[in-house]
Amino acid sequence: MRCLLLFSIVLGVVCADYTTNSWQSQSFKTLVTFGDSYTDENRLGYFGSHNGSAPPVGWDAGVSYKASTGGLVWPRYASIYTNSTLYNYAVSGAVCSNNITPRWWSTIDAPFPDIINYELPAYIADSEYITPNGTAFFTGTPDTTVYAIWIGTNDVGNDAFLTDSQVAGKTLSDYVDCVYDVVDDLYQSGARYFVLLNLAPLNLVPQYATPEHGGLNSTQFFPEKPSVAAGNITEISYRMLETVDTVNSIYAYRTPFETRVNNTWPGVSIANFDVHALITDMYMNPKEYLNGTAPLNVTGYVIGAGNISRSDRDSYLWYDELHPSEQVDRIVAREFVGVLGGESKWAKYW
C-alpha cells in the first residue's frame, strides 16, 4: 500500500511538471484545425461554388465574417487572441470518416468531404507545398504548432448514428477510432501538440432539445424529424444525451490510455478540452458568459428572433437551431487559449 501511494505521489509530480513545461500559449505560432461547421470558415463554400471540386493545394481560405455563428468562428478568434497563423481545414457538414457515417450533399451529388479522406490529406499536401516564389506555404514547426480536432456533431446526429444511418456494422467506437487515427497520421507527419475537443451538449441545442427546453419539431438541418421522432422529440433528445455522454466518456479514457499506458506516440502532448462542460456551464450560468443588450436566452436562437441588433445577438447561446452563437465561440476561443497555457480547468493534459 505504501509503494502504491508513493507511486501515485511521484506520478502526480511528474504530470504537474509535464503540463507546466510543455504547454505555454505564447510558444504557439501556428494553429491547424480540423472539423465541421463548428470550425469551418470558407471550405464548404468553395466546394459548393466549384461543382464539388476541392480547393487547390496552397489555397488561402481567408476569413469568414458570416460563418456558422453569424460572425467569426472560434479558431479565428483563437488565432487573433494568440497572434498565430491559422490553417483551417474544417468543412461544414463533415464527419470524421465517410466510411462510417457518409452524409449526402445534393449540391455536389456526393457526400460532404470528411476529415480522414479530405481534410487530413489537404493539410499534408499543403504542409509539403512550395509556392511559385520558392517559399513554403506552411510555416509551422513541430514545436510551435498545435493541432485541434473538433468533430462529431454530424457523426452522432441525424443522417448518421442518431437515425441509424451509419454504414452497417459501424459503431460509435469506430467514430472515435477515426479521431485517434487522425492524431496518428498527423503524429507520423511530425505533429506533436494536439487539442481534442469533445462533443458539445447537443441535447441542449434547439434541434435536439426537449420541448420544455426549446426543442423544435423540425429544423432546416433536420426537416425529416417529425417522421423520425414519430411525435416524440423528447426521446430523440434523451438518445442524443446518452450518445454524447458515451462518446465523451470514451474520449476521457482513451487519451490517457494511448499516451501513458500504450505509449502510442512517444513525445506527444495532448490536451482533452472539455468543451461540453464549458458550454453546459454557459447554459446553466448565462450571466457569467453572455453580455448582449437583450434578455439572456439559452433556449432560443438568434435567427429565430427576427431582425435583432448585433449587440442583442450576444445575449443568445445559439445562433441557429444547431450552432453556437458568436459570443459562445469567443468564449470557446478564450478558453482554448487557456488550454494552450497548460493550466485550464476545462482541460486534462497528457
- pLDDT score of 25: 74
Grid coordinates belonging to 162: 442518431
Q: Residues in the chain with pLDDT < 70?
A: 1-21
267 contacts 288 by C-beta, under 8 angstroms: no
* Rounded Cα–Cα distance for residues 231 and 140 (Å): 51
- pLDDT score of 21: 53
Hey, where are the domains in the chain? 22-275+326-349
CATH number of 22-275+326-349: 3.40.50
Sheet holding 85-88, edge to edge: 85-88, 30-35, 145-150, 193-197, 269-273, 347-349
C-alpha neighbours within 13 Å on the C-beta side of residue 322: 19
64 contacts 41 by C-beta, under 8 angstroms: yes
pTM above 0.85, yes or no: yes
Residues in the chain: 350
